[in-house]
Structure 1
Amino acid sequence: MRWLITGAGGMLGRDLQSVLQGSDVVAATRADLDISDLSAVERAVDRADVVINAAAWTDVDGAETAESQATAINGHGAANLAAVAGKRLIHVSTDYVFDGSARSPIPEDAARAPINAYGRSKAAGEAAVLAAGGFVVRTAWLYGEHGPNFVRTMLRLAATRDTVDVVDDQQGPPTWSYALARQLVALGRSSAAPGVYHGTAAGSTTWFGLARAVFEEAGLDPARVRPTTSDQFVRPARRPAYSVLGHARWAEADIDPLEDWRSMLTAAMPVLRP
């Protein structure tokens, strides 16, 4: 089986390479492959049995003033891959295709309702992939060893500040990128039906709850983390207040869903500490 990873230089892309070590893999960074270039996509996808698209515009706030650029990658780029790879494509998407108004885990077949430019760009990519018969795997609150993310930021701030204020009014499932990479590879090796799957940890917490857990894992006093509200950190793009996703479709694929976020964090900490 020959694999193509797009966005291979990013946090998830690097973890995918680790999971697939020893396999036949082409790891294409942004410099290697511009997915918004259809002819380049056609050449890259030609011999691949499975394509995992981890390439994305991820600057959520930047997308508010550069929506066309974000859509060129997240929407048109995904459409290019879908047009060429079809059911061979596993496309990584996001909870930001929803508006955050739910109060119970969002099922895979829920209607998309993005509330910011980034979410709209990702929704466009999802639509193209599903129309071509591919796989969409939505994730949320991703952290990992490679690149900046919330967990590593908390560890850095713990070393430089006595206290840290973190919002306590957004609910989601903190998910280790390496665990997601393993799930994506398992999906690629399976005989699962195409469609939407949710690649997030089980359970949920708030950013405040996650920060306290990070301090606890690092052997620090979690009381140093103080709760606050989102209106104290005004940002250009609105964030969904609720990003907990349901995982029912993994049973159909005969693949276990990802583990609980808290035990996942414990497993991840050895590679996250500075």
Structure 2
Amino acid sequence: MKIIITGANGQLGSELKDILLKDSSKECFFLDRKQLPLDQPVLIQDILDIYQPDVIIHAGAYTAVDLAESESDLADIVNHQATDEIAQYCKINDVKLIAISTDYVFDGNSDRALREDAEVDPVNVYGLTKLKGEQAIQRWLPDGIIIRTSWVYSTYGKNFVKTMIKLMTDRDEISVINDQIGSPTYAHDLAKAISVIIDSEWLGGIYHYSNEGEISWYDFALAIRELKGLDCKVNAIPTSSYPTPAKRPCYSLLDKSKITRTYDLNIPTWKESLAIMLNKEEV
């Protein structure tokens, strides 16, 4: 089986590399932004054709949520137009596609865990461009798999966990938002779930994946402090006290029952996975 993974150097791409390269039955091609320039959609199909893949895992994206507000054209090119080209290629060449999307396609006004058929209404440019990417896949490739995830972190790349550790190490006191609710996703867990999907009967559609549990960013920060044994004071603040260029959904907890039922997955709790990640980082 030949597999292309876009976003090779991102958090998920790096975790997929750790997992998939151990499987000799798979020939994997990890393409970074130089090898597959998602900001140049006109080149994408010709580049993909070089590899003749059976499966594409599309993890590459424009993920600078705040910067997307001022770089909306670039965000649309990478998250929407490039995804459209990848979906077209998969349709023409009978290639399977797993594409990663986001909880930011929702407006955050729910009060219960969001199912895959919940109404979408992005509140920022990033979420809108990712939704357009989803729609392009569904238009060209109804049997494609879209996995929405949230609050991704890893031992690789930049993320909330690493930022909190640095701030709590450098400062005596920090403030963290306590009224945005969701659940973190350890990228290694998501990568394992994707590897299960690849080896299972193909059942297309939209799926939700994050770790189990419901927390705020403040709760997440407290757990990081506890597990790292730090003594920085952490203050809880509302979103209104920390304005950002891009609005965030206040509530974007994802309902994982569809993916667990379909692929018989056992999803770890967020704190369990956080502890594993932090222990790994210290090695």
The interval holding the TM-score normalised by the smaller chain is: over 0.9
**Residue 150 of structure 1: aligned partner:** 160
TM-score normalised per structure 2? 0.92
Gap regions ≥5 residues in structure 2: none
**Residue 241 of structure 1: aligned partner:** 250
**Residue 8 of structure 1: aligned partner:** 8
1:271 deviates by 2.7
**Residue 121 of structure 2: aligned partner:** 113
1:136 deviates by 0.4
Gap regions ≥5 residues in structure 1: none
**Residue 32 of structure 1: aligned partner:** 35
1:270 aligns with 2:279: yes
How many equivalent pairs are there?
A: 273
1:265 deviates by 0.8
Question: Contact 2:169–2:230 at 8 Å: present in 1 too?
Answer: no
User: Once structures 1 and 2 are overlaid, which stretch shifts more, 102-111 or 253-262?
Assistant: 253-262
Matching residue's letter, 1:229 = P
1:199 deviates by 1.5
The 2-side partners of 1:40 and 1:75 are apart by 13
User: How does 1:108-187 map onto structure 2 within 5 Å?
Assistant: 108-131=116-139, 132-133=141-142, 134-187=144-197
The 2-side partners of 1:251 and 1:13 are apart by 22
The 1-side partners of 2:74 and 2:148 are apart by 21
Matching residue's letter, 1:103 = D
1:111 deviates by 2.1
Deviations 1:73-123 (A, max 9, x none): 100111111111146110000000000001100001112110111111000
Deviations 1:35-80 (A, max 9, x none): 3424433432552111101110001111111111101010011111
Matching residue's letter, 1:107 = R
1:205 aligns with 2:215: yes
Question: Contact 1:192–1:253 at 8 Å: present in 2 too?
Answer: no
TM-score normalised per structure 1? 0.95
Q: 1:56 to 1:41 in 2, by over 3 A?
A: same
Q: Among the aligned pairs, what percent are the same residue?
A: 33
* SS at structure 1 position matched to 2:170: coil
Deviations 1:210-261 (A, max 9, x none): 000001111224x721111111111111000011001122244233152111
1:100 aligns with 2:108: yes
Matching residue's letter, 1:269 = L
The 1-side partners of 2:114 and 2:44 are apart by 36
Runs of 4+ in 1 over 4 A off after TM superposition: none
User: Once structures 1 and 2 are overlaid, which stretch shifts more, 151-160 or 185-194?
Assistant: 185-194
The 2-side partners of 1:26 and 1:5 are apart by 6
1:166 deviates by 0.6
